[in-house]
Amino acid sequence: MDQAQREQIKQAIGRSRRGLSTKIHAVVDALENPLRFDLTGREAHDSVQGFNILKSMKLTRKQVLADRAYDKNVIRTFLKEQQAIPVIPGKKNRRMTLKYERYVYKERHLVEYFFNKVKNYRRVATRYDKLACTFKSF
């Protein structure tokens, strides 16, 4: 790993089609309050960071709502080991359709509300902070 790549990791900036940017991964409760969040470069996949965040939480007898990007066997087995209830729709290319509670899944809009609130702050939307630690502290 060269110096430029280390700096991008330290700054949580990654390259995408639109240029350099940052991705915010968050776990939100039923009142739209963030429980855990992490910053990565734009090229990081949601399910990898989501799995890392979920590993750091106690999920016993809780419902975990997520979108199709988190439909991975690793995540589903982890949630079963934690005795959590996955409310994740299956990907379109899955061979077997998985059952999930649709009326509970409709509550996932709370995560979207959280991100809409956060993006209203100009400092977050434009990311003027150079280092990830100062950006995360805001």
Q: Please, which residues bridge with residue 15 across strands?
A: 20
Distances (CA, A) of 108 to 17, 31, 54, 90, 136: 27, 11, 16, 15, 23
Which of the four CATH numbers 3.40.50, 2.60.120, 3.30.420, 3.30.60 does domain 3-137 have? 3.30.420
Task: Please say if the pLDDT value at position 11 is more than 90.
Answer: no
pLDDT digits (tens, 9 = 90+) for 68-126: 888 999 999 999 999 999 998 988 888 887 888 888 888 888 888 888 888 777 666 66
Strand partners, 23: 40
| Mean pLDDT to the nearest integer, 52-56 | 91
The answer, yes or no, to whether residue 44 has pLDDT greater than 70, is: yes
Six-digit token string for 19: 């240029």
pLDDT at residue 62 in the model: 92
Alpha-carbon distance 39 to 129, whole Å? 13
Q: Strand (E) positions, the chain?
A: 14-16, 19-28, 34-41, 63-65, 85-87
Using a pLDDT cut of 90, give the percent of the chain over it. Answer: 19
At residue 135 the predicted structure's pLDDT band, cuts being 50, 70 and 90, is low
